[in-house]
Structure 1
Amino acid sequence: MMLALSGCSGGSETATSTTPSPVPSSTPTPTTSTPTASTPSAVPSTPPAKPARTAAQLAKALLALADLPPGFSVEKDEGGDDGSDVTVSSKDSRCAKLVAFSNADNPPGSKASAGQSYSGGAQGPFVDETIDAMGSPAAVRALQKSFKQAVAACRTMTLKVPGEGTSPISVREVAAPQVGADPVAVRFTATSGPLEGFEVTMVTTGVDDVVLALTVVNGLPEDIDGATSAAVEKAQDVLGATKSGT
């Protein structure tokens, strides 16, 4: 949202002069220009905007293996759009916003992004982390509010995992780790079909002007809490963000 400020020009005091030229400086008119010249000094100056975040800067704020428990490894980025992505869908219009959030590569309004995936072994836990620069803390708060509303409005969706099958999933907001700003957590659980028992927990939270999201598969509560806390602390340190919790 942009707020446009338009300046107002005051009336001219030189109308009483019969000389059309504004050059003479010996006339009393300069006394009327003195207060107008001092007026801008009463207007507070706008603080300089922070430099825009870059993808390279955000990548440095991602978790490294040293930030995770022993046994984790970095998953290689497969890249490309080969149709192998996990997707969700729903015929319920109330789930439309959550479907859009879940299937998007980046949240709406993202200015720059970085991500990385990690594996704790053949059985997991599997952790996916993304960091998106939103431009301002206000934009982060608005996104978190919108995501929370999307989660609350939806109860069931359909999950498709290429090569594994399709199953209905329940959608349930759960307690989020109390780190960062305005944290939100949601759990997706396959309730029947070939994916029955498959469970994914997603946590999103704000770190000043960026949104950090962690998606955890086959993770225990301590895995989710530990990964989220480590990710927020790393982002705060690297990005010079305010170390505030909720």
Structure 2
Amino acid sequence: MPSRFLTSACLSAALLLTATGCSDGSSTGSPAPSSTPTPSATASSTPPPATTAAPSTPPATTPARTPAQLTKGLLALADLPAGFSIEKADDSGDDDVTLSSKDAKCAKLVAFSNADVPPGSKASATQSYSGGAEGPFIDESLDAMGSAAAVGALQKSFKQAIVSCRTMTLTIPGEGRSPISVREVSAPKSGTDPVAVRFSATSGPLEGLEVTMITTGVGDVVLALTIVNGLPEDIEGATSAAVRKAQSVLGSGT
């Protein structure tokens, strides 16, 4: 069972998210001319020199995030308890893992789950970690969304998708397909607008599989953790460590 199948999936399909940008402009008016002529007004044949308005200074912008910068914000082994290792990326068919549902109320979450990257993402970085043969297995992703407002909109859209859906079907090539329950759970209080969801296979060949996903904001970046075989303390500890690391490297953004 690959441990990466929900990291890019559930978060990054914010197909329905359209980040709204706001522009701010200002205009200045010239003062009204005096209506009282000066004594030399009629005697002077030289018009006063024209004044040139100072060019406006464009507002400062936050430098665009890069994948290399985001990668530095991911957890390192030094940030995790002893016994963890970094998992190498596996390109052996995880893209064929799908979530589906015939329930129209789940259409939004299905879209979230099967997309590769958020449509508003400007840059991405991911990493996988293993706590041993029995886990926990942790995937982390960081997606730069361009602004904190876009992050908040994504979090709101993702939460609405979770609340609307109760069951879906998970299909893993070579492993089978099983129904899974969808349940919003309490998210660790780290980052901004944290959201957490638990996916549990209720029957079939994948019965017993349980995956918890947490997404939260770090300024203009969405941080997502997908944890398999994790105890509550694993979920809390990993989320706190990931947010601290991202904040220390990436700052608050805009």
> Normalising by structure 2, what TM-score?
0.79
Shift of 1:163: 1.9
Q: Write 1 or 2 for the structure with the bigger share of helix.
A: 1
Quick check: 2:101–2:107 contact (8 Å CA) kept in 1? Answer: yes
CA distance in 1, matches of 2:127, 2:97: 16
The match for 2:185 is 174
Q: Share of identical aligned residues, percent?
A: 71
1:56 matched to 2:68? The reply is: yes
Query: In structure 1, what residue type is equivalent to 2:47?
Result: T
- What is the identity, as a one-letter code, of the residue corresponding to 1:122? A
Partner of 1:100: 111
Deviations 1:167-208 (A, max 9, x none): 001000000000000000000011111111110000000000
**Residue 74 in 1 paired to residue 86 in 2?**
yes
Larger relative contact order (CA 8 Å, sep ≥ 6): 2
Separation in structure 2 between the aligned mates of residue 137 and residue 99 of structure 1, nearest angstrom: 25
**CA–CA separation in structure 2 for the residues paired with 1:178 and 1:89:** 30
Deviation per CA, 1:123-178, whole angstroms, max 9, x where unpaired?
Answer: 11110000000000010000000001111111100011222211001000000000
Question: 2:97, 2:173 → 1: CA distance?
Answer: 7
Aligned runs of 1:173-192 on 2, under 5 Å? 173-192=184-203
Instruction: Find the aligned partners of 1:179 and 1:9 in 2 and give their Cα distance.
Output: 47
* Inter-CA distance 206–25: structure 2 relative to 1 (3 Å threshold): farther
Q: Which residue of structure 1 lines up, in the alignment, with residue 139 of structure 2?
A: 128
Contiguous gaps of at least 5 residues in structure 2: 1-19, 34-43
Q: Does 1:27 align with 2:47?
A: yes
Q: How many residues are paired up?
A: 222
Instruction: Determine the C-alpha separation between the residues in 2 that align with 1:110 and 1:181.
Output: 18
Q: CA deviation at 1:97?
A: 1.3
Aligned equivalent of 1:209: 220
Deviation at 1:9, TM superposition (A): 9.2
Other-structure match for 2:41? none
Q: 2:174 aligns with which of 163, 166, 183?
A: 163
Amino acid at match of 1:191: T
Amino acid at match of 1:67: D
Which one-letter code corresponds to 2:46 in the other structure? Answer: S
Measured in 2, the distance between the counterparts of 1:132 and 1:2 equals 18
Structure 1, unaligned stretches of length 5 or more? 14-23
Tell me by how many angstroms 1:105 deviates. Answer: 2.0
The 5-angstrom pairing of residues 130-145 of structure 1 reads 130-145=141-156
Q: Secondary structure at the match of 1:99?
A: helix
2:67 touches 2:124 (CA, 8 Å); kept in 1? yes
2:219 touches 2:251 (CA, 8 Å); kept in 1? Answer: no
Task: Detail structure 1 runs of 4+ shifted over 4 Å in the superposition.
Answer: 2-10
